[in-house]
Amino acid sequence: MIRRKLVAAATVTLAVALLTLTAGLYVVLSWRLESDADNVLRDRAAAAASTVTSSQGRPSVRETPYDEALDNGVWVFDAGGAKISGPAATGTVDQTARRLGGSVHTAFHDAGDDIRMYALPLRDEPYAVVVVALSRRPYEHAERTTLIGALGFDALVLAFGAWFVRRTVTQALRPVAQMTAQAARWSERDLDRRFDLGPPADELTGLAATLDRMLGRISAALRHEQRLTAEMAHELRTPLTRMRLETEIALRRDRPAAQYQNALRAVLDSADTMTTTLETLIGLAQQEINPTTGTTPVSDVAADAARTCRDQGREIDVDLSQAAGLVVGCDREVIARTLQPLLDNALRYSRTAISLRVTSSGSDVLFSVGDDGPGFHPGELHAVLTPGTQGHAASPGQGAGLGLALAGRLARSAGGGVTPRLSGDGGLVELRLPAA
């Protein structure tokens, strides 16, 4: 869970920072206490040196009111290393003091873990060496006490910091959790709901905008699926009905072989119509979901159109005189699927002639498909682009009124459009696609 990860990361970071700070404080404190101990040793050695005098050419210690305190941890040795004054105690500390009594330079020395010693040679006559000792236990106790206190303080700060981070993260993520839950509910029941928090100004409004876009895409995808399903059902109903009727009539009673062949041809035509319709709808769905961005020379489009007409046993008059060097900014397959319904209409309604004229129109390429058939009436120019609507020239059972509607959808998905035109010479439909 992201909240736990954030709290854990923040707590670990705080713990590392506190431990680092405590370690640094302990190192500085240890250095400072050791420095203070050395200063105390120097001060005691200087105080003891002030009591050293000369008696008959040999060093001696002048009596002071604080002899008892000075003698505790203070040794004075002559030039030969003989002890003139010092504690009566024996042991490691006394042995170390005797070794330092022969020093010719100031020196610090540790006698065990608890005692630190300092030797101070006196250069004036008579020559002597003062050695002082200091217990390190008070300083070590101060170090331990400070370390324990710092660790306890760190524990309190860490506990409070973890609680504060957890509370802050929980409050910060609560709106995110609420928005996520709302988006999940809306995606199941009401895809038209939006947060509408305005332009992204922070992380929260940025998330809201992202969720709004996601809901919009989901809504668009569902509407597209519903529309595609409805269109398939609507556009396949007519050929399926025709196939059923032809089959029922053929099976109603025995008929000559020629009539059975005609019925089978009608069924085959209906199957071809459904196949073409399904392929066009699937291509349309793919184009709307993942638009292609290929390029196709106009000459390739003209070659595909001529091949289509030859497959139907017809010839088409292609005019590319004003299309020199034109390239369409669409994939070749998309152009072929868009142009196919226009060619099918021309092949169906023409008497003798079919033409394809390609010109440039601003930033678009204009394909004009004409025929010498009955053409369109003024009142049906827009209606024939509606699925299931046929022009006045269509015979009963001829076509399903899907071709121009599908071509228009494909063209719009590619950034163009389909426009039926009035023409005194017959039918004329223009296909406009963006130029590369």
Element (H, E) at 110: strand 107-111
Residue 126's Cβ-count burial label (10 Å; 0-12, 13-18, 19+) is middle
Give the residue ranges of the chain where pLDDT is below 50.
69, 397
- pLDDT reported for residue 393: 59
Tell me how far CA of residue 126 lies from CA of 80, 422, 427, in angstroms: 12, 135, 136
Helices and strands (H and E) in the chain: how many: 9, 14
Query: What 3-state DSSP class applies to 73?
Result: coil
- pLDDT reported for residue 142: 92
- pLDDT reported for residue 286: 60
- pLDDT reported for residue 388: 59
Element (H, E) at 89: none
Domains observed in the chain? 217-290 (1.10.287), 293-434 (3.30.565.10)
Number of Cβ atoms within 10 Å of the Cβ of 293: 10
- pLDDT reported for residue 269: 73
Q: Which two tokens stand for residue 151?
A: 């660790």
Q: What is the DSSP string of 135-169?
A: E-HHHHHHHHHHHHHHHHHHHHHHHHHHHHHHHHH
